[in-house]
Amino acid sequence: MRIACLFNNDFEFVPGAGADAAAVRASAEAICQALRDAGHDSELVSLQGRDLVAVLGKLERDKPDLVFNLCESLCGVAVNEVAVPAVLDLFELRYTGSDASALALALNKPRSKDVLLGRGIATPPYRVLTNVADIERVSAEPLDYPWFMKLANEDASVGITEANVLADGAALATRAQQLLAEFNSPLIVERYVPGREVNVTLLGSGKHVRFLPLHEIDFGAMPAGRPHIVSYAAKWDEKHVDYEGTKPVPIKGASSALVAAIEETARAAWNAIGLRDYGRVDLRIDPAGVPWVIDVNPNCDISPDAGVARAAAAAGWSYPKLIGTIAELALQRYTAKGAA
Ligand SMILES: Nc1ncnc2c1ncn2[C@@H]1O[C@H](COP(=O)(O)OP(=O)(O)O)[C@@H](O)[C@H]1O
Ligand SMILES: [Mg+2]
In contact, 308 and 201? CB cutoff 8 Å? yes
Residues in the chain where the model's pLDDT stays below 50: 339-340
Q: Where in the chain is CATH 3.40.50.20?
A: 2-95
Q: Where in the chain is CATH 3.30.1490.20?
A: 125-191
At 149 the pLDDT is 98
| Ligand 1 near 124 CB (within 6 A) | yes
At 340 the pLDDT is 47
Q: 2-95 in CATH: which number?
A: 3.40.50.20
- Nearest-CA residue for ligand 1 atom 18 is 295
Pocket residue to mutate for ligand 1, from 148, 189, 232, most atoms within 8 A of Cβ: 148
Question: What kind of architecture, by CATH, is found in domain 196-214+251-335?
Answer: 2-Layer Sandwich (3.30)
At 233 the pLDDT is 92
- Nearest-CA residue for ligand 1 atom 8 is 294
Instruction: State the ligand closest to the CA atom of 108.
Output: 1
Instruction: State the ligand closest to the CA atom of 248.
Output: 1
- Nearest-CA residue for ligand 1 atom 25 is 230
Instruction: State the ligand closest to the CA atom of 246.
Output: 1
At 154 the pLDDT is 80
- Nearest-CA residue for ligand 1 atom 10 is 229
pLDDT in tens, 262-291: 999 999 999 999 999 999 999 999 999 999
Tell how far the Cα of 30 is from the centroid of ligand 1, in angstroms: 28
At 16 the pLDDT is 67
Tell how far the Cα of 9 is from the centroid of ligand 2, in angstroms: 23
Q: Give the 3-state DSSP-derived string for the chain, with helices as H, strands as E and coil as C.
A: CEEEEEEECCHHHCCCCHHHHHHHHHHHHHHHHHHHHCCCEEEEEEECCCCHHHHHHHHHHHCCCEEEECCCCECCEHHHHHHHHHHHHHCCCCECCCCHHHHHHHHCHHHHHHHHHHCCCCCCCEEEECCHHHHHHHHCCCCCCCEEEEECCCCCCCCCCHHHEECCHHHHHHHHHHHHHHHCCCEEEEECCCCEEEEEEEEEECCEEEECCCEEEECCCCCCCCCCCCCHHHHHCCCCHHHHCCEEEECCCCCHHHHHHHHHHHHHHHHHHCCCEEEEEEEEECCCCCEEEEEEEECCCCCCCCHHHHHHHHCCCCHHHHHHHHHHHHHHHHHCCCCC
CA distances from 7 to 33, 152, 167 (A): 14, 25, 41
- Nearest-CA residue for ligand 1 atom 24 is 230
At 18 the pLDDT is 66
Tell how far the Cα of 39 is from the centroid of ligand 2, in angstroms: 32
Tell how far the Cα of 299 is from the centroid of ligand 1, in angstroms: 18
Pocket residue to mutate for ligand 1, from 230, 232, 246, 283, most atoms within 8 A of Cβ: 230
Tell how far the Cα of 199 is from the centroid of ligand 2, in angstroms: 9
At 108 the pLDDT is 93
Q: Where in the chain is CATH 3.30.470.20?
A: 196-214+251-335
Instruction: State the ligand closest to the CA atom of 154.
Output: 1
Tell how far the Cα of 300 is from the centroid of ligand 2, in angstroms: 10
Tell how far the Cα of 61 is from the centroid of ligand 1, in angstroms: 43
Question: Which residues keep their CB under 5 angstroms from ion ligand 2?
Answer: 282, 295
Instruction: State the ligand closest to the CA atom of 151.
Output: 1
Q: What is the fold, at CATH topology level, of the domain defined by 125-191?
A: Dna Ligase; domain 1 (3.30.1490)
